[in-house]
Amino acid sequence: MTDSEKFEHLKELTLDDVVMPSEGWVAYAVCAGDEKSCGWQGWILEAISRDGKQLPADTRQICPVCDEATFRTWAKLQFRPSPDQPKIEDFESAD
């Protein structure tokens, strides 16, 4: 069995299969650290937790355009799941 076959089942996970966070934090980040920076701006995941316990998440501060380090600004927001949360299929991608 190849590695891709071994993990194929992970692609089918639903909210019922994972630990649901009780809150998350996002920060507005900019790629403006040095001469290699590209000026990208956007929201990044700061942290995600369940009842105060940190959950696994990709919180790297890396620019999606040029792979340089990003700087988190003071613009930060906390999010909490809504009981009537719409499914992700109901949204259009920003890409």
3-class DSSP state of 71: strand
- Round to the nearest angstrom and report the end-to-end CA distance of the chain: 34
Q: Domain residues of the chain, as ranges? A: 20-90
Tens-digit pLDDT string for the chain (95 aa): 787 789 999 989 988 899 989 999 999 999 998 899 999 999 999 999 999 999 999 999 999 999 999 999 999 999 998 888 776 665 565 55
- Distance, in Å, from the CA atom of 13 to the CA atom of 27, rounded to the nearest integer, reads 27
| pTM of the entire predicted model | 0.74
